[in-house]
Amino acid sequence: MNNSYKKEWEDSYKRGENNILYPHDEVVKFLNRFVRKKLNFKGGFKDILDFTKTVKGLDFGCGVARSAILMEEFGIESYGVDISSNAIEKAKDNASSFGYDSLSSRLQTIDSNELPYEDNFFDISIAESCLDSMSFGNASALINEISRVTKKYIYFSVISCEVNFKNKLAEDLIVETNHEFGTIQSYYDEERIIELVSHFNSETVFIRNYTATGATKDDLIDSRFFVVLDVS
Ligand SMILES: C[S@@+](CC[C@H](N)C(=O)[O-])C[C@H]1O[C@@H](n2cnc3c(N)ncnc32)[C@H](O)[C@@H]1O
């Protein structure tokens, strides 16, 4: 892979970063809005996609597999890929802890911009907080691949330029602070999102920019875009 920052991600996971064990609430909402609505904790769902056959989901850039584990909880046969073998090791351990041993065998390291799946293998794909953790060039190549292997929906989230009130440009920067040191953080505005998804056919069925503001200008703020594409 072209300058993929694998070593930096391996080091980051060795330091215990991104050991995030609970799903992002927007991923939970995506599944409930577009895939199947969870009705109770006894296994009750109102299906939106056709669950009379196996529904398959990809957790791209899965880290420790929080979204893959959530998909299993929703009755989706999930798979996960990440550039970091340290992340995949933790992901497998997490899947096994939930008793999802077969998920554990479906989590793997990738080291190129090609995904090891045939066309339309997945019904849905999730790329939570990862397309912005690489160069725009790699993200473009990889979302094309994600669209190739996905039949219906792609969910992704990317950081906005306006994070931390810095009004950064929509560009790729090397992280110089401790968390994720040496990796790329790639900032997005709407124009850059449109460019990211411009090389394949899709309809944007959901896009939101949520910004959490603090009481003062110095408070850390979080600002992200959440996008769902219909690629069918
Ligand atoms: C901020 S973490 C998010 C992890 C996970 N999606 C989550 O929500 O917890 C970004 C992830 O992207 C992965 N990543 C970075 N570049 C990648 C690439 N070129 N291919 C696959 N995964 C990559 C990193 O290893 C890391 O796990």
Centroid of ligand 1 to alpha carbon of 32 (angstroms): 24
Q: Which residue has the higher pLDDT, 218 or 194?
A: 194
Average pLDDT over all residues of the chain:
92
* 27 Cβ below 6 A of ligand 1: no
Indicate which atom in ligand 1 lies nearest the CA of residue 27: 8
Tell me, yes or no, whether 140 lies in a domain.
Answer: yes
Centroid of ligand 1 to alpha carbon of 173 (angstroms): 16
Residue-number span of the structural domain to which 90 is assigned? 6-230
Tell me, yes or no, whether 1 lies in a domain.
Answer: no
Tell me, yes or no, whether 115 lies in a domain.
Answer: yes
* pLDDT confidence tier of residue 3, bands split at 50, 70 and 90: low
Indicate which atom in ligand 1 lies nearest the CA of residue 180: 1
Tell me, yes or no, whether 154 lies in a domain.
Answer: yes
Q: What CA–CA distances, in Å, run from 200 to 113, 229, 231?
A: 16, 11, 8
Tell me, yes or no, whether 22 lies in a domain.
Answer: yes
Centroid of ligand 1 to alpha carbon of 111 (angstroms): 12
* pLDDT confidence tier of residue 168, bands split at 50, 70 and 90: low
Tell me, yes or no, whether 76 lies in a domain.
Answer: yes
Tell me what pLDDT residue 215 has.
Answer: 74
**Is the pTM for the entire model greater than 0.85?**
yes
* pLDDT confidence tier of residue 182, bands split at 50, 70 and 90: confident
What is the distance between the alpha carbons of residues 121 and 125, in angstroms, rounded to a whole number?
10
Centroid of ligand 1 to alpha carbon of 122 (angstroms): 19
Taking CA atoms only, the protein residue closest to ligand 1 atom 17 is 83
Q: Which two tokens stand for residue 171?
A: 């560009």
Tell me, yes or no, whether 166 lies in a domain.
Answer: yes
Tell me what pLDDT residue 225 has.
Answer: 96
pLDDT digit string (tens) for 140-167?
999 999 999 999 999 999 999 876 655 5
Indicate which atom in ligand 1 lies nearest the CA of residue 84: 25
The number of distinct structural domains making up the chain is 1
Instruction: Say if residues 231 and 153 touch (Cβ distance below 8 Å).
Output: yes
Tell me what pLDDT residue 229 has.
Answer: 98
CATH number where 204 lies = 3.40.50.150
Provide the 8-state DSSP code for 93.
H
Taking CA atoms only, the protein residue closest to ligand 1 atom 8 is 128
Q: Which residues contact 209 (CB under 8 A, 6 or more apart)?
A: 160, 190, 223, 224, 225, 226
To test ligand 1's pocket by mutation, which of 83, 115, 181, 222 has the most ligand atoms within 8 angstroms of CB?
Answer: 83
Tell me what pLDDT residue 98 has.
Answer: 95
